[in-house]
Amino acid sequence: MPAPDDVRSGALDPVDARILRALQIAPRASFAAIAAATGTGETAVARRYRRLVRRGVVRVVGVLDPGALGQSRWIVRLRCRPGAVAAVADALARRDDVSWVSTAGAGAEVLFAVRSRTSRDREDLLLNRLPHTDAVLDLQASVVLHQFTGGRARFWQRLAGTLGPEAEAALGAAGPPFDPTAPLAVRGAGLSAEDEAVVAALALDGRAGRSTLAAAAGTSRGRAARRLDALLASGTVRVDVEISPAALGLDTRAALWLRVHPASVEDAGRALALEPATTFVAAVTGAHNLHAVVHCRDLEELWSVTSQRVGQVPGVETLEVAPLRPHVKQIATRVDGDRLADVED
């Protein structure tokens, strides 16, 4: 039998792919709803889902939007001394306020995202700790001004078409990646102790049931469900689906830094959001005004994506492609090789 931690030991079959797509659209949908959408038995869906989790192919997690606390999100590039990248990346990945970590280029750069709960924590990291770390040679930080795709997993277009439109509609799919009606976090809305407990439980398992959430918050199932509904409706918390790119045969990753004519930034961001290879697209501050992350099967596909599609987007003036080495951390999950590590690993 395949080793349980070997993501590549068994290629995703069509049923697994449909289950992943259903989860992208409705991360907390019941197994019965997923079964109906995928044309698979409910027991089989539950069994397959648990197997995919054990193999490190998928994790469903709850993520707090820093905007709920009035905070901004930052994308940071570190240039490090040779031989120090792995240690710096590992130290960053251990922080709860660092949500994405990868090494880039020839192994001398670390790329990560910061979503600190307070400005003091963020400034301590970016202004005090990192600049005074001997291994760090240079730091460039950009604020995320507007996110076109990424975070809301159903907008990753790579698995689009795996389910038919009727099945997706039944699960609640609607709108493009840049849907302006998508909920935004209520700025500055504080969290109660109950909310904090619900958020912490969802960070461990985004599909946690009412009983689990109630036990974590020390309240009734009904109240826990109401607090969850309020957090999701306000955009304070989103439930995301992390998928190992290797499970989809995507072995080549790259960060793209684009300079786009100011009048074309929004249209360019929307066009990139619809590109199946992109997992993240955002308007940012700094020398480049658009940042994207792409996942491709190989270098040839990366060439095709960057030159024939991204490079042809109206308004793009310059494009920097920085190949990424294997992730150290995805949104909220450490990565072990190509496998999403369990929270207890």
For 335-344, the pLDDT digits (tens) are 887 788 865 4
**Cα distance between residue 319 and residue 342, in whole Å:** 36
pLDDT category of residue 70 using cuts at 50, 70 and 90: confident
Q: Mean pLDDT throughout 176-194?
A: 58
Q: Determine the pLDDT at residue 246.
A: 86
> Per the structure, how many domains does the chain have?
1
Query: Using alpha carbons only, what angle is made at residue 239 by residues 63 and 100, rounded to the nearest 5 degrees?
Result: 45
Q: pLDDT tens for residues 289-300? A: 999 999 999 999
Residue 272 lies in a domain: yes
At residue 4, the pLDDT reads 42
* Residue 269 is assigned to a structural domain of this protein: yes
Q: Given this model, what pLDDT does residue 156 score? A: 64
Q: Is 133 contained in some domain?
A: no
Domain that holds residue 293: 250-323
- Domain membership of residue 263 (yes or no) is yes
Give me the pLDDT at residue 153, please: 45
What pLDDT does residue 180 have?
A: 44
Residue with the larger pLDDT of the pair 29 and 175: 29
pLDDT at 261: 97
CATH number at residue 300: 3.30.70.920
* pLDDT at residue 67 is higher than 80: no
Residue 231 within a domain: no
pLDDT in tens, 107-150: 789 999 998 877 888 888 988 899 889 999 999 999 999 888 76
Please indicate, yes or no, if residue 154 is contained in any of the structural domains: no
